[in-house]
A and B are shown apart, each in its own frame.
Chain A
Amino acid sequence: DSGVTQTPKHLITATGQRVTLRCSPRSGDLSVYWYQQSLDQGLQFLIQYYNGEERAKGNILERFSAQQFPDLHSELNLSSLELGDSALYFCASSPGTGFTDTQYFGPGTRLTVL
């Protein structure tokens, strides 16, 4: 158990819909990272927040957005969902600002778009 929690574990929705994935980092960690893992694209970094501010951006689509709240939990919003958005979405957390820190991954949210 990494100490990172993600909800929900599974999510099934339809194309065109909008969903919100939630992540609570390990106690004391200020950075939250979001990743997408799919069979065809592999593991892809989406975005990082540090203490409420966006820190780094990866291959995140414009239909996706994220935020980190004052209590440090983070939400990833996915809208206008397409079949290709079906994937495992992982959240990770670390104490500091950058990728040099060890990242602790949560168990993931499996999103299925029908």
Chain B
Amino acid sequence: GQQVMQIPQYQHVQEGEDFTTYCNSSTTLSNIQWYKQRPGGHPVFLIQLVKSGEVKKQKRLTFQFGEAKKNSSLHITATQTTDVGTYFCASYNNDMRFGAGTRLTVKP
């Protein structure tokens, strides 16, 4: 099945700095979803991308799906302390596979 590798594992930034997490696959993905999990919380769906080269924005968050549909990224501009948490990518086919997640900490 589809496997997604996610990097980096951890990212520590100063408030106001940008943050990016990447997901990569050796095979073509039919879709990619992004989730956020706050410390001690549950995953919360952020967005789904299905088209090659697709770019979607949610306020300071920009999501991209690669042209070859083998990679995706989530970029946060000017991080805030409320952005703290672990960001997961996931892809589904017959089942759902998650990346290992990127844990973001933000220093005020």
Contacts and interface: CB of A to CB of B under 8 A. Distances in A.
B85 interface: no
A107 B41 CA distance: 7
Q: How large is the interface on A (under 10, 10 to 19, 20 to 34, 35 or more residues)?
A: 20 to 34
For chain B, what secondary structure do more than half of its interface residues adopt (helix, strand, loop), or is it mixed?
strand
B92 interface: yes
Contacts of A33: 96
A15 interface: no
B92 A90 contact: no
B48 interface: yes
A42 B9 CA distance: 12
Given A56-B94, A100-B48, A90 B42 contact: yes
Contact of A99 (B41, B44, B92): B92
B22 interface: no
B7 interface: no
Contacts of B66: none
A106 interface: yes
B96 A99 contact: yes
A43 B43 contact: yes
